[in-house]
Structure 1
Amino acid sequence: MKIKFLIFIITIATGLSFINAQERKNDTIDDQVVNVVKPYTPTISDAFKIKDTPKLSDSNIVKKKEVKYNIFSIPVASTFTPAKGKAANVDKAKPVKLYDNYASLGVGTYTTILGEVYLNHELSSTENVGGYFSHHSSQGGIDNVFLDDNFSKTGLNAHYSQKLRDFSWKVDGGVDLMTYNWYGLPEGYEDQASDIDPRHSFNSFYIGGKLKFDDAIIKDGSVRFRRFGDDQDSGENRFVAKTNFAIPVQGEEINTEFYVDYIGGSFDESYFGGDEINYGNVTFGLSPSYQMKQDDLTVSLGVRLVYLNDTEFSDNKFFIYPNFEASYRLVDEILIAYGGIKGDLQQNSYYQFASENPFVSPTLLIAPTDQRYNGFIGLKGKLSNNVSYNIKGSYYSEDNKPLYRLNTVRNFSFGSGAEDYYYGNSFGIVYDDVTTFSVGGELNIDVNRNFTLGLKGEYFGYNTDTQAEAWNLPDVTGSIFMDVQITEQWFAGASAYFVGERKDLFELEGSLTGDSIMEMITLESYFDANAHLGYKINDQLSIFAKVNNILNQDYQRYLNFPVQGFQALAGATYQFDF
């Protein structure tokens, strides 16, 4: 093709030369005749190929010029519309609907009724009002009990709260009503049952409030007043006010707690008759503390100062207690060592004793307990993300520690005019200086939201000053609990606790010689197992069943006071919003 192209070019050039020769005849220059002897006929050997990449003969290095390509962009209206992307479908759990209110009702053996109602209503974005009602009662029916053993507990509470710009506050008030029986007759005194009306009741009214500041020296504060009494003309008033604030000192903060605790009350007479029992005192407490952190070490240094004014005996005392605590991370969250030593003046009350042991007699002497020190040391941490543990040992000393002890049987006072709690069926309070050594541990397993398991156990050793034993205090305690979400509808749980041996004193009023008959009695340890099962019908309604004392253990929590055997209860819970 290239040879044909060259022949074509030469032919055209020859033609142009011939035309030009014809035109020159008109020039002023003399004509010249060119005779072509032989036309040029090129051969293949006369054609040559130009090399694509010639070599430069110049010895200088020539830099190749960079070539840049660009275009002139002109905006145009595009009619192209890309299709919208669509996310892949992901299975999501249905969000759980949370309700502000619920009502629950259950009935069971021993004619047991259990009911609860909780209400909460949001008046505005900053205001809430609500209330709580609870009732638990049983008509009794414990085997081999010769007195009525029914009981009833009812509570009612109402509250109002508001959240403002710089602080929030809450007020609440309520009443509690409790009815029990001194049904624990000693063996051999069944014939006296017809002379006894064991029923007694307690009543309580309280009102209080709380304040919490967001950014202020004073962090929070609270006040609480409670009036507690019974149907035996006993009464008690208690008022407690507390506040926490931070004192700035050279760029650091000293956290401080201040409180005022007043208590005053009376009983008609002592257990062996006589004058009215009056008691009352007021305490003022101040607890400054400073916390410092350095790497894995955290130390809290403080002191607790308490001033006691006994209003009945016009006696004043001042106490200084240690308030020290420290912790050190030995291995991140896996192993944390901690320890400390603390102390406090603990205010005792008739309300506290009756709530813990409702079989006390209305003849108590109420006095505070001086916990001189409570030293403790332990290890805690996580074995994994789902398993945590805590091992702790303690040694503490308490002066004037209250102990429950069975009241003396006043057999010479039986009959007309005898009180219904004279028959060895009530408890009194004795005080003693007690030192206690304890060691225990707990393990919590939280596999996921559907399964939790916890275990706890503790051993106690007591040393008393004047009393023969630390009455009604166990040497060993243990507990276990478990909660399981079986399916979306089914849920279940179980719990069990073990209480070791306790000791009490049975004392019979002396004969004419004045000598009393006393016998120390050891209460056997007991194991109580419980379980529950529930089914969620829908988001609002669920049904449940509970069984307590599954092994039907015939044990005594306190001397002469056996508990109910196997118990079963079934009911329903309904959640709702207004």
Structure 2
Amino acid sequence: FSTLYGEFFFNLPKSKNATFGLHLRHLSSDGKTKLRGGDRVEDPFSQNNATVFGSLNLGGTILSADLSYDRDAMRYYGYPEPIPANVPIQYGLKQAYQNGNIKIALKSDEKNESDLKFNGGFNMGYFDAKTGQKQTNAGLFGKFDYDFGSLNGILDVSYDYYKTDSINLELQSLPGTKTEGWVRIAPSVRLDGDNWSVRGGINFVAVQDKSFLNSTKLYPDFEANFRPIEGILTLYASFKGDLKNNRYGDIAYENYWTDPRHNVHNTDYNYLLSGGLKGKITREISYNVGLKYSKAKDLYFYVLNSYDDMSSSTIQAPRIYNNAFDLVYDNAGIFNLSTELSYVSGKDLSVVLKGNYYSYSLDNMPFAPQKAKFDLAASAGLRIIDRLTGFTDVEIIGKRKAMTYYYSPFSSALPETKEFSIDPTIQLNLGATYDLIRNFKLFGRVDNLLNRQNEQWLGYASQGLRLMAGMTFSF
């Protein structure tokens, strides 16, 4: 398969009064992928990104603006078994997501010695899908931090409005429009000592949903850290809660192949307890080890539904899978152990190792669909000779289980379930850059060196080995 890649950066020279930058990126491929059932299918994709940003120092305050546009295009090409003659209606369907955002903010200059620090502004955005769904949003935000001398008072407030068209609604059979208004108010107080800091407050969240139910939540918001050995050891802990807004566009980007009419419930994190330690072993080596336990209501999972092929003439009608993902929910206790170790030696060598272990305790489901128990990541950069640098990175995601549902047209009983096993994901990449002459570089990279057909989601395998080479020019 062939892949086209291009990226452009433009930044004005550094200035005390203003900044301006532009970033453009394109990545596309027209390749084929082998699925778990043995079928080779076309899985073209395209990613386009554009960002313009800038800031202006107004003397004590900084005005900033960010404008971004993203467009991702793909197809519904996956299937969990050998593809039947009568494929689901979504199969091969083209999909494209467009996302635009603008954010304008005014914040106090960090060099300003005023007792009041602030950062506030507004944002607007839109998201649309080729299949007809649209989401628009607008909001105001502000964060204020006032130094009273012996303590700091902090107020974090925001209001966001969302309107989403042509999606499934809770209380009606046909797709419709969902509107939500989100209010967040989080006052807190922070105390600072010579080698410690404590902040405590509340997090108030109110949601007005005209298509379903209104909700009002109040959560704790506490965090603390203690530095017994400055620069070498820091102990930290927090006790919080939050209502996560599972926005339409966020879900679409998390899983391209979700049913485009999805309307995901918001996830209520009743509480999140976390703690750990971080610091430096030597000047070059740093570490971070953390533990987290959270209790969540309406945690969502991706599943595929199946149904009988009623057009079949056989007595036992074969089952066909809908290859666009639906969602199921459960209440969960989630434990996470995270570790990070890094080594940086100037510009000559850098190594970063990361790992996570997860455990899910669910109220109803036997396991957490498509959630791995662990993941590992490692990256390294090395200056091989004066003009030649190389890098490598590897990502490993543990074995996962997936679930499908079968709804019988002749029964109102609970759906039958079927388990699938997803092999571990192993992604190994290598690359190098050579400084040919001033402002001109050559680069090459190999993605997925092991040529594995890693499944991102059940039935959706990724492309195999990819070679890329090109040049960069700066002026």
- Decide: shared fold, TM above 0.5: yes
Q: Once the two structures are superposed, what CA deviation does each residue of 1:224-245 show, in whole Å capped at 9, x if it has no partner?
A: 2111111111111122322111
CA distance in 2, matches of 1:536, 1:338: 43
- SS at the partner of 2:42? coil
Q: What does residue range 92-103 of structure 1 map to in structure 2 within 5 Å? A: none
Contact 1:146 1:190 in 2 (8 A): no
- For residue 441 of structure 2, the aligned residue among 542, 546, 551 is 542
Partner amino acid, structure 2, of 1:133: L
- For residue 150 of structure 1, the aligned residue among 44, 53, 56 is 44
Aligned to 1:378: 276
> Larger % of strand: which?
2
Q: Are 2:112 and 1:112 aligned?
A: no
Aligned to 2:289: 391
Partner amino acid, structure 2, of 1:307: A
- For residue 208 of structure 1, the aligned residue among 103, 119, 126 is 103
Aligned to 1:561: 460
Q: What does residue range 405-424 of structure 1 map to in structure 2 within 5 Å? A: 405-409=303-307, 411-412=309-310, 423-424=321-322
CA distance in 2, matches of 1:248, 1:301: 15
Aligned to 2:316: none
Contact 2:168 2:262 in 1 (8 A): no
When residues 331 and 248 of structure 1 are mapped into structure 2, their CA distance, relative to the original with a 3 A threshold, is closer
Q: What does residue range 154-233 of structure 1 map to in structure 2 within 5 Å? A: 154-192=48-86, 196-214=91-109, 215=112, 217=116, 219-233=118-132
Shift of 1:430: 2.1
Shift of 1:457: 0.8
Q: Are 2:255 and 1:357 aligned?
A: yes
CA distance in 2, matches of 1:363, 1:142: 26
Aligned to 1:266: 165
- SS at the partner of 2:86? helix
Contact 1:145 1:183 in 2 (8 A): no
CA distance in 1, matches of 2:17, 2:257: 44
CA distance in 2, matches of 1:158, 1:292: 38
> Larger % of helix: which?
1
- For residue 178 of structure 2, the aligned residue among 266, 271, 279 is 279
Shift of 1:198: 2.2
Shift of 1:249: 4.6
- SS at the partner of 1:537? strand
Shift of 1:526: 2.2
Structure with greater Cα Rg: 1
Shift of 1:575: 0.8
Contact 1:321 1:343 in 2 (8 A): yes
Contact 1:209 1:223 in 2 (8 A): yes
CA distance in 1, matches of 2:292, 2:192: 24
Partner amino acid, structure 1, of 2:76: W
CA distance in 2, matches of 1:300, 1:246: 12
Aligned to 1:242: 141
- For residue 334 of structure 1, the aligned residue among 225, 229, 232 is 232
Aligned to 2:389: 491
Q: Once the two structures are superposed, what CA deviation does each residue of 1:74-97 show, in whole Å capped at 9, x if it has no partner?
A: xxxxxxxxxxxxxxxxxxxxxxxx
Aligned to 2:340: 442
Residue-pair matches, total: 458
- For residue 289 of structure 1, the aligned residue among 183, 188, 203 is 188
Partner amino acid, structure 1, of 2:466: Q
- SS at the partner of 1:192? coil
Q: Are 2:209 and 1:322 aligned?
A: no
- SS at the partner of 1:183? coil
Partner amino acid, structure 2, of 1:543: L
Aligned to 1:92: none
CA distance in 2, matches of 1:126, 1:145: 58
Contact 2:307 2:408 in 1 (8 A): no
Contact 1:373 1:396 in 2 (8 A): yes
CA distance in 1, matches of 2:376, 2:15: 46
Partner amino acid, structure 2, of 1:312: S
Shift of 1:175: 2.3
Partner amino acid, structure 2, of 1:309: Q
Deviates more, 1:489-498 or 1:200-209: 200-209
Q: Once the two structures are superposed, what CA deviation does each residue of 1:214-265 show, in whole Å capped at 9, x if it has no partner?
A: 3463511132211111111111112232211124557642022111122221
Aligned to 1:5: none
Partner amino acid, structure 2, of 1:135: H
CA distance in 2, matches of 1:480, 1:409: 42
Q: Are 2:197 and 1:298 aligned?
A: yes
Shift of 1:275: 0.5
Deviates more, 1:289-298 or 1:395-404: 289-298
Contact 1:365 1:429 in 2 (8 A): no
Shift of 1:455: 0.6
Q: Once the two structures are superposed, what CA deviation does each residue of 1:274-296 show, in whole Å capped at 9, x if it has no partner?
A: 41143232221122222223333
Aligned to 2:209: 310
CA distance in 1, matches of 2:16, 2:288: 41
- SS at the partner of 1:355? helix
Q: Once the two structures are superposed, what CA deviation does each residue of 1:126-184 show, in whole Å capped at 9, x if it has no partner?
A: 34443221111110211344543100011222334322112111223232211111101
- SS at the partner of 1:440? strand
CA distance in 2, matches of 1:402, 1:369: 8
CA distance in 2, matches of 1:517, 1:400: 21
Shift of 1:302: 2.1
Q: Once the two structures are superposed, what CA deviation does each residue of 1:194-219 show, in whole Å capped at 9, x if it has no partner?
A: 97432111122222212112346351
Partner amino acid, structure 1, of 2:27: H
When residues 249 and 309 of structure 1 are mapped into structure 2, their CA distance, relative to the original with a 3 A threshold, is farther
Contact 2:199 2:224 in 1 (8 A): yes
Q: Once the two structures are superposed, what CA deviation does each residue of 1:50-73 show, in whole Å capped at 9, x if it has no partner?
A: xxxxxxxxxxxxxxxxxxxxxxxx
Aligned to 1:88: none
When residues 194 and 433 of structure 1 are mapped into structure 2, their CA distance, relative to the original with a 3 A threshold, is closer
Q: Once the two structures are superposed, what CA deviation does each residue of 1:422-456 show, in whole Å capped at 9, x if it has no partner?
A: 84321122222111011121101112221010111
Contact 1:304 1:323 in 2 (8 A): yes
CA distance in 2, matches of 1:225, 1:445: 40
Q: Once the two structures are superposed, what CA deviation does each residue of 1:475-518 show, in whole Å capped at 9, x if it has no partner?
A: 10110010112222100000001101222112344253466543
- Which sections of structure 1, spanning at least 5 residues, go unmatched? 1-109, 415-421
Aligned to 2:17: 126
Contact 2:240 2:271 in 1 (8 A): yes
Deviates more, 1:161-170 or 1:260-269: 260-269
Shift of 1:311: 2.6
Shift of 1:358: 0.6
Partner amino acid, structure 2, of 1:162: L
Contact 2:167 2:262 in 1 (8 A): no
CA distance in 2, matches of 1:298, 1:405: 44
Partner amino acid, structure 2, of 1:176: D
Partner amino acid, structure 2, of 1:354: A
- SS at the partner of 1:445? strand
